[in-house]
Amino acid sequence: MVTVENLRSWTQPGAQDAAQATYASVRAALDRSPAVQAYQPEIFLQGSYANHTNTRGDSDVDIVVMMKSSFMPDTSRLTVPEIVRYNAAHSSATTTVGGLRQAVTAALNAYYGSDRVHPRNKCIRVDKRNGYVDADVVPAQQYRLYESYPAYGQPRIIEGISIQPLSGSRIVNYPKEHIENGETKNRQCSNFYKPTVRQIKRLRRAAVDAGLVGKKDAPGYLLECLTYNAPTSYFTSDDSQRVVNVLSWLQSFSASELAATMRSCDDIHWLFKTDPGDHNEYPAYRTIKTLWDFL
């Protein structure tokens, strides 16, 4: 049984100290590596800790190492004359994400020891120790989605990251857009959007513990994006009422309506159509219904 006390306590974020210590430690490991620094990296958090939607029990941090010595362009939104201007001004890159990954792995091994560093398909995992959390270090290349390329003045771009897994297709996402949009939504909702995301994530975890929802159904990112789509007016100051408002609104959609309507938090991808998470609307629909009934 979910109580008002549960919903109130679930508004609180998980501890940040261990995540910040982990981020600082990984930065120190990478900053001391000339091989990594040759890629002109920008190192930043993504995911729930970056978005301040983490909950108690979130067990790892995602740290992006984005190379800026070269970038991956997307000119699909440009006109033909703009593409001609772009091609005249740029040449092919000579550095690769594969090389960056090798340099990052070597730097982490040198700093932590190879027993704590493990390759994963999209990242390099660094095992936690006391006072820290596990870190998923993601080598990536800057991705530029061009919205304009004028004859005079600066091009207008949306910055993302391009990840090349060890196996599978390249993945493009926009973590900075996600962060900025979440901050804007939170301000529009009088700072009640992010607490609501945490509440719904904790509700889902309680439903998993009760055996009502599968452990892999509706992960936190998906729930955050679904909540992001809810109307601003639903995020009231009442800790119980706003969860009721958001879930009542979500459960009114059919699976096909969810797929046709919901946007990712970056406002670039469609959550169930083009988001690189490859989410399926049918388990999401069933999870929403279960959470609504569980509430």
Kindly report, residue by residue over 223-270, the tens digit of the pLDDT.
Answer: 999 999 999 999 999 999 999 999 999 999 999 999 999 999 999 999
Q: What is the dihedral of CA 185, 236, 242, 183, to 10 degrees?
A: 20
Query: Residues 179-216: pLDDT tens digits?
Result: 999 999 999 999 999 999 999 999 999 999 999 999 88
Q: Which CATH architecture has domain 17-173?
A: 2-Layer Sandwich (3.30)
**What is the value of pTM for the model shown?**
0.93
Query: Residues 13-59: pLDDT tens digits?
Result: 877 899 999 999 999 999 999 999 999 999 999 999 999 999 887 77
Burial class (CB in 10 A: 0-12, 13-18, 19+), 209: exposed
User: What distance in Å separates the CA atoms of residue 232 and residue 88, rounded to the nearest whole number?
Assistant: 45
- pLDDT of res. 94: 67
Query: Residues 209-235: pLDDT tens digits?
Result: 999 999 889 999 999 999 999 999 999
Q: Which residues are registered as beta bridge partners of 133?
A: none
- pLDDT of res. 3: 87
Q: Is 148 within 8 Å of 156 (Cβ atoms)?
A: yes
Query: Residues 91-101: pLDDT tens digits?
Result: 876 677 899 99
Q: pLDDT-based confidence at 128, cuts 50/70/90?
A: very high
Q: Is 256 left (phi over 0), alpha (psi -120 to 50) or beta?
A: alpha
Closest CA to 60 of 134, 122, 116: 134
DSSP E strand stretches across 75-184: 117-119, 124-126, 134-148, 156-163, 171-173
Q: Which residues are registered as beta bridge partners of 263?
A: 270
Residue that wins the pLDDT comparison between 37 and 3: 37
User: What distance in Å separates the CA atoms of residue 44 and residue 62, rounded to the nearest whole number?
Assistant: 9
Domain regions of the chain by residue span: 17-173, 178-294
